[in-house]
Amino acid sequence: MPEIKMIYNLNDWPEGHVGHLVPSMEVIEAFKNINNNFKIKNVLEFGFNTGWSSFIILKTLEYTTVTSIEIYRFDKAEIGIQKLKDLFPNRHHIIWDDSQKLYQKVLKDVKILPINKYDTAFIDGGHVPEIVDIDIKMCKFLGIKNFIFDDGDCPGILPAIKKHSDLKLINRYPYINIRKLNNNYFLKKSKGWQTGLQHYMIE
């Protein structure tokens, strides 16, 4: 595995049940560059897992809040939530729900969300076109114009992005696909597409 220097130490952070971002230089710089192009204040995050991405965003972008939507509530996720509360008081919120069901609730009453106005979406939830499409629709309904997709070239994600012709690609930020499992970092096997963060905007 290529030697990867972690910018933040998350060795004691609970490991996810699926893949997750790690705080490598590539990932940190990607969020900084995106923030330079579009000032990120309030993020609506699809897919929390155990909170690695939330931590990275909150640590990297000092004045940002994150609201995470997560369908799978389990012990390690709860640990991640508590760590974020301790480290970043009042800057992280969690909604335990299926984003597809949440969309229907939001259509009826946006006040169920903990923040009045979101400016950025970080989409890394279900990697299925139908799910991603609805997640994008909810964001657009909320007036979000700044979109960050993890693994945006994935065949379960890209078709949904292409359905929304008003989403304009600003930049791709490739990274080495590293995961931590059983207290060890390892390089994930390529699935046939380039991994990375992708920045889109509605102009």
When the candidates are 2.30.30.100, 3.40.50.150, 3.90.380.10, 2.60.120.260, the CATH number that belongs to 25-202 is 3.40.50.150
Summarised one tens digit per residue, pLDDT across range 26-43 is: 999 999 999 999 999 999
| pLDDT of amino acid 180 | 85
- For range 193-202, the mean pLDDT: 94
* pLDDT > 90 fraction of the chain, expressed in percent and rounded: 84
Q: Please, what is the Cα angle at 73 between 190 and 196, to 5 degrees? A: 25
Domain ranges of the chain: 25-202
Summarised one tens digit per residue, pLDDT across range 124-154 is: 999 999 999 999 999 999 999 999 999 999 9
* H/E segment holding residue 121: strand 120-123
| pLDDT of amino acid 156 | 94
DSSP 110: G
| pLDDT of amino acid 42 | 98
d(CA 192, CA 184): 24
Do the beta carbons of residue 184 and residue 153 sit within 8 Å?
A: no
Q: Please, what is the Cα angle at 161 between 48 and 28, to 5 degrees? A: 45
Q: How many CA atoms does the CB half-sphere of 90 hold within 13 Å?
A: 1
